[in-house]
Structure 1
Amino acid sequence: MSSIKGMDSLLRKIDAVGGNSKKALKEGVLQAAKKVQGDAKDLCPADTGELRNSIQARIEDRDGKTVGLIATNVEYAPYVEFGTGQKGEASQSPPKYDGDLSYRQDWAGMRAQPFMYPAAAQNKVHVPEIIAASLRKELRRLGGR
């Protein structure tokens, strides 16, 4: 949360006037996650639409922090995002996949068609703005400034 200037102060103000800062924070994180989800869907290549339609957004509590997650359960998603074979390895793509995705040199493969990483990257500024707006909305609802 340190990426949003004044976050701790805003959370304390909301709680001090009888609001629910945790609820407002969760709503803001979910709104931000849905923004990234929408952009990932827009950027996702679509043959059948299966991959695009599988992109979901949700929030979780991790170690006392609310985290927004955007994910897909389609098993071929990493191959689309990071490419395969020689073309995948040569692609100007997001950071290379650190999981079990080998760029076999005996196979031409397919170029990377990133959609998740660019969606997250293009919202780097918007995510904190959306969360802060949600918190300010809660404070205004309670009669604060």
Structure 2
Amino acid sequence: MCAKGINDFQRKMSRLGKDIEKVISDTVMEFMRKILAEAMASLPAESSHLKSSFKIEKEKTGDVYRVSIFSDEELAAYVEFGTGIWARAYLSGQPKEVVDEAIKFYINGKGTTFARPYLFPAYYRYLPFMERELDARVQLLFDRL
């Protein structure tokens, strides 16, 4: 009986890494879909044609996963960050990762488009919930050992 318990535990431990990876992947993708849905609902009406241009992409390099929500339409970035003085005004109070993303679309600083953020606000709104949910779901795997 004791040997059976040890064998069961060893079997569970050998699957734990893959189970954790799947839980993390599934949970992150679930939240990315929520973030995208909220962002699309917040997209200004005059930019609604951009909705179909967004994609969620998951890639794995070694042991590192990267999940991105993106659009191939540059206009999506100009709606999010604004241009010219409006971009400067909006970005002055934003985290570095937002500024770093916006800088990729800088042309000459003379644009006149107001910032109408929709994607990063959705991301930051869901981030703490995603972190808590990840912790809870991974903890469940350990509790089942």
TM-score normalised by length of structure 1: 0.68
Provide the rounded CA distance (Å) in 2 between the counterparts of 1:75 and 1:15: 47
For the structure 1 residues 133 and 14, does the alpha-carbon distance in structure 2 shift closer, same or farther, using more than 3 Å as the test? farther
Match of 1:16 in 2: 13
| Aligned equivalent of 2:73 | 74
- Cα deviation for residue 30 of structure 1 reads 1.0
Partner of 2:32: 33
Tell me, yes or no, if structure 1 residue 103 matches structure 2 residue 100: no
Q: Check conservation: 1:31, 1:130, Cα contact below 8 A.
A: no
Q: Is the 8 A contact 2:77 2:105 kept in 1?
A: no
Q: Which residue pairs with 2:7 in the alignment? A: none
User: Considering only CA atoms, is the larger Rg found in Structure 1 or Structure 2?
Assistant: 2
Percent sequence identity over aligned pairs:
20
Please list every run of 5 or more consecutive structure 2 residues that lacks an aligned counterpart in the other structure.
1-9
- Does 13-22 or 79-88 show the bigger shift? 13-22
From 132, 139, 142, give the equivalent of 1:129: 132
Q: Is the 8 A contact 1:82 1:112 kept in 2?
A: yes
Higher mean C-alpha displacement, 112-121 vs 50-59:
50-59
- CA–CA distance in 2 between the matches of 1:25 and 1:54? 26
Distance apart, 1:99 and its partner CA: 1.9
- Output the amino acid matched with 1:49: S
Alpha-carbon distance, 1:29 to partner? 1.7
Instruction: Give RMSD over aligned pairs.
Output: 3.0
Query: TM-score w.r.t. structure 2 length?
Result: 0.68
Distance 1:99 1:85 in 2: 14
CA 1:24/1:103 → structure 2, altered by over 3 Å: closer, same or farther? same
Give the secondary-structure state (helix, strand or coil) at the position aligned to 1:33: helix
Q: Which residue of 2 aligns with 1:47?
A: 46
